[in-house]
Amino acid sequence: MAYTYATLTTAIRDYTEVGDGVFTQAIIDDFIMSAEHRINIDCPMDSDRFVQEGTMAADVNNIRSPGGALFIRGVEVFNVNNSTETGTWLEKKDQTYLAEYIGRLTGTEGDLTGQDVTGKPKYYAMFGGATGLTDTTSGSIYLAPTPDVNYLFRIYYNKQTAGLSAANTSTYISSYFPQGLLHACLVEAFGYLKGPMDMLTYYENRYKTGIQQFAGMQLGRRRRDDYTDGTVRIQVKSPSP
Q: For residue 234, what pLDDT is reported?
A: 65
- Residue spans per domain, the chain: 5-45+161-224, 57-150
> What is the model's pTM?
0.77
Note the pLDDT tens digit of each residue in 121-158.
999 998 875 555 556 555 789 999 999 999 999 999 99
Minimum mean pLDDT range among 8-17, 62-71, 135-144: 135-144
pLDDT category at 110 given cuts 50, 70, 90 is: very low
Q: For residue 167, what pLDDT is reported?
A: 95
Q: What is the mean pLDDT of the chain?
A: 86
Residues 158, 69: contact at Cβ < 8 Å? yes
Average pLDDT over residues 40-48: 89
Q: For residue 135, what pLDDT is reported?
A: 60
Give the CA-trace dihedral at 8, 14, 19, 24, to 10 degrees.
-20
Q: For residue 67, what pLDDT is reported?
A: 83
What's the rounded Cα separation, in Å, for the pair 60 and 149? 10
Q: For residue 237, what pLDDT is reported?
A: 75
